[in-house]
Chain A
Amino acid sequence: MIDRLFNWADDRLALSRGGRHLLNKIFPDHWSFMLGEIALYSFIILLVTGVFLSLYFVPSEHMTVYHGPYLPIDGTKVSEAFASTLRLSFSVRGGLLVRQMHHWAANIFVGSIVVHLLRVFFTGAFRRPREINWIIGANLLILAIFNGFLGYSLPDDLVSGTGIRIAFSILESIPIVGTYLATFLFGGQFPGSGIIIPRFFIIHVLILPLLILGLLGAHLGLLVRHKHTQFPGPGAREDNVVGSPLWPVFAAKTTGFLFLVAGVSALLGATTQINPIWLYGQYFPWKVSYAVQPDWYMGWLDGALRVMPSWEIHFPGHMIPNAFFPAILLPGITFTAIMLWPFLEAKLTGEDRREHHLLDRPRDRPVRTALGAAIFAFYFVLFGASATDVLANYLSLSLNFVLWSFRIACIVVPLIVYPVTYKICKELQETPGAGKRKVHNIVVRDAEGGYHTIPAEEYPGFVGEEAPPLDVDRIDVLTPAGASEPTPGIYRIPRDYTD
């Protein structure tokens, strides 16, 4: 039956042509290659849970009177968006779970992209020929951050509504076109003509997901085209990839991993409350609450808005507002610099422009590593600065002291991180065997009381001495009998192991 189905499809799609090559695609075994997979799988979770939510959410700012199981606000005026979010949270079976899974998955999505980006940066995986894929990845990060912001803005609650208010201010701070962009998008001066939630909704569920899907396809397509990078190691060369084949080894591992990511999202969604909008209440423009922070990936921008000194640029008839510098210029420079980095590095180091498929160990590139760490420290300080008020409260310090500490820290910390990281890299370079895979040793004491170290016994999976890699496209496996007929490929997996 399966044979007939396969033949039917193969006759029409020529699956066998090249299909075997796909099964043999090699995926390196290093754990750091899973970071991008987390991003991919959390995106899948976002799509699935998001479709569920879209069946119940009503993207409307139209005011209605809330009646429902959440009694503290029963009978108060709320928007349809707010009311429908409560309805899908409390009256739809499993709704709150799916909503919280969606929100957690969004936080994981952006987080895994950032960590993936750091991995690619510190190992030099962005170098030729992967500059285009690096740029695509940076754009995916931008889109993920934008879509996260739009998503948590949809319920029209007091916290996210304040965020939308700030977004309007940031838009109108852009020189020349800013006021037009703001009134076009909102349908007038803030709060606009009641269309911002519907517009955010369609951008959130259709426009940006389509862009993300397209770029994701290109990202993975280029991954197949270039094949994976790999760390230097036994048998690893510029002209090969060493690891596990897609079928069946990687397929099993990665599918299992998809379920792990989904399982963690489900566990967080089930046990860890996120964005309880019923505690915040409906957004009204004149209301505001204290000690609220945006989702974590907006933290660096919020922190930048806080630590920015109160400067503006005035000239006759025009001005550049304060918010422009931390909220438009800073992210603009950030993402431009990220996208240009591969080219800058190639130029600055005056280095070869050969293709690189073998990754750098971060220590072997101390300048890049130290620079990356210092810049990351800068953004991490900004991230911390988004909690100035909470920290001041919690530590019983004056707000002035906390804010000034962050203003100074965002300059001083990177200046400290750079030389420290540089020094650590240099030290690691000079320490033989540091970070290498350890060979298991056994310490034995002999009859005279002396101690000897002997290497541990080898066993399957022993990581001491590795066998050389086998070329999946060229091997034929002899049957265990050692007989005359080789079986093509690596399909035959011996099962007669001893325990």
Chain B
Amino acid sequence: MTLKRSVSFIAAAAFSLNAMAWQPSGKVECIAPSDPGGGWDFTCRSAGNVMRDLGLIEGTVQTINMAGAGGGVAYAHTVSKRAEDDKLIVAASTATTTRLAQKQFPGLDADMVTWVGALGADYGVIAVGKDSQYENLNQLLDAIKQNPKSVKFAGGSARGGWDHLKVLITAKAAGADKLPAIPYLSYNNGGEAMTQVVGGQVDAFTGDISEVTGFLSSGDLRVLAVLADERLPGEFSDIPTAKEQGVDAVGPNWRGFYMPKGASSDSKAFWVEAVDTLYASEQWKKVMKANGLIPFHPPADEFDSFVEQQVQDIETLSREIGLLK
């Protein structure tokens, strides 16, 4: 027993020693699959800065913006042209897995890259205007169960996108049927959707917690539930989770990285370790706090299966509502 443990300890030590032995030299790139200014751009730039400050890499991480097809152009680029690049990471989020699940990157699958790790998440919320008749999540869901058309939702993603899926995940967890009949109005972004809910034109808002902070503090919006396992820290601790209201629905919009599948195992070990170290650092905690990110970091060996599971869940749900055939 002791022997076995010490052997595995030595093996682990050797492995990590080996992993630390490899260090990227020269130019390191982080692809942000969007125009400058978006969430992926933020992931690359802020993670790159903190990695440099921590001395994890020599030099700087250069952020490359590669917009197109909601991340599809960057995904195809990574799979086809950079398949063995050791010094490349690509920013990803739930939007990436959603599109993969819905086959919106033609001919590309989630297992064509290596998923490195997550650096935090933005959790989904269901909210209504301050004058709404719905005081809690169950009142709203009961209304949907009686008549799926009775509550109209507005969100910042396309139909079938993550904001829409959060409504469906919640309604499904509450046992509602006729999911496709629930009206969903898609807007260009969360702000536009919220304006309609605050203005009283649409009944409910689906989005992420970071989007609602402004209207939450002004009192124009009432958040019925946050789709997280536990209550969120800080100023959000008053908001009940869906789970504590008896609805088992969770919707984390995580932010993290993937890298080319064909990269050397040394480099993969390095990047997983680097993301772990980055996530644990004080500097990153500050970045998370300043940008409304909530802790979310599945252990390195579980992240891959987490992504796989999320892709599968979204695929099943998309089939149920007829988005996928």
User: Are A and B genuine complex partners?
Assistant: no
